[in-house]
Structure 1
Amino acid sequence: MFRRFIRGLKYKFIVLMRNKGASTVIARSFAIGMFVEFITLPTMGLAFLLLFPLIRFTRSLFSVSLIGFATGKLLIPLFLVFNYKVGEFFVHTGVGNETALQTASFFSWEAFKEKGLAFLTGSGVNGIWVALIFYAVVYWAIGAYRKRKENRRQERSLAIPEQTS
Structure 2
Amino acid sequence: MGTENASEELVKKIFENVDMAKKSFVIDADALKLIKNHLDLIKGKNVILTPHEGELKIISGIDLPHYSEIEQRGTEIFKIAKKLDVTLLVKGPYDYISDGKKLKINKTGCPEMSIGGTGDVLAGLCASFLTTENSPFRSACSAAFLNGYIGEFCKKT
TM-score (norm 2): 0.31
Bigger strand fraction: 2
Higher helix share: 1
**Larger-Rg structure:** 1
Greater relative contact order (Cα < 8 A, sep 6+) = 1
Q: TM (normalized to structure 1)?
A: 0.30
